Amino acid sequence: MAVVPRRSTMTLFSDSACQRSHRVRMVLAEKGVGVEIEEVVPGVVSEDLAEINPYATAPTLVDRDLALHNTMVMMEYLDERFPHPPLLPVYPVSRAHSRQYMHRIEVDWCVPAEQILRGEEPKRVDRLRKELRDSLLGVAPIFADKPFFMSEEFTLVDCCMAPLLWRLEILGVKLPNARQAKPLITYMQRLFDRPAFRASLTDTERNMRG
């Protein structure tokens, strides 16, 4: 049966290729919330966006008088505004852990991924690719213990992981077909098979993997 999106008056300024916009689209899809999507073209500053976001970055979420321009704030706002299904654990310590994981994913993996995609100096890009691959392989065993990122339940942390992992091919990061990588590869497939993940993909993103 088709899922009828809940009505909302929200607008998401989204870049169809950017992993941060993808995270927010994924949260919206998991919650079954429909929003107006305003496509942001990288490098082109839209006046509408500049008016509500001092940095004119994507994603930007507008809900009536509220305009949010930080991805983490947006994701948590959506989780509070649309509580079902909850995408953060209940207890403060677990919530703090989740927030810290999201921060580390951003700093340790997403920022280098962005630098790789910008194609800066080739030697540096090679080094960043290797570091990203080794770092992901380093955490691969944790996915053997639990189905999601350090959790029995799907959370916002997985909404940060999925867009990054979906981009490994275009990042030129190849995981080895070795035992060590298996739990990570299984985790990736588990995320990619989610109906909400499929629904969150833009045409550009659909073409990112062969």
Ligand X SMILES: N[C@@H](CCC(=O)N[C@@H](CS)C(=O)NCC(=O)O)C(=O)O
What span, in angstroms and rounded, lies between the C-alpha atoms of 210 and 203?
A: 13
Q: 18 or 27, CB closer to ligand X?
A: 18
What span, in angstroms and rounded, lies between the C-alpha atoms of 24 and 39?
A: 14
Nearest of 126, 137, 117 to residue 177 by alpha carbon: 137
Does 11 help bind ligand X (rule: CB under 6 A)? no
Does 20 help bind ligand X (rule: CB under 6 A)? yes
Does 70 help bind ligand X (rule: CB under 6 A)? yes
Does 18 help bind ligand X (rule: CB under 6 A)? yes
Size of the site for ligand X (CB under 6 A): 8
What span, in angstroms and rounded, lies between the C-alpha atoms of 149 and 191?
A: 11
Q: Which two tokens stand for residue 44?
A: 């082109």
CB of residue 145 to ligand X, shortest distance in Å: 29
CB of residue 105 to ligand X, shortest distance in Å: 12
Parallel/antiparallel/unpaired status of strands 36-39 and 10-14: parallel
Q: 145 or 203, CB closer to ligand X?
A: 203
- The residues in 161-200 that bind ligand X, with binding defined as CB under 6 A, are none
Among 12, 28, 49, 58, binds ligand X (CB under 6 A): 58
Q: 56 or 164, CB closer to ligand X?
A: 56
First to last CA, the chain: 29
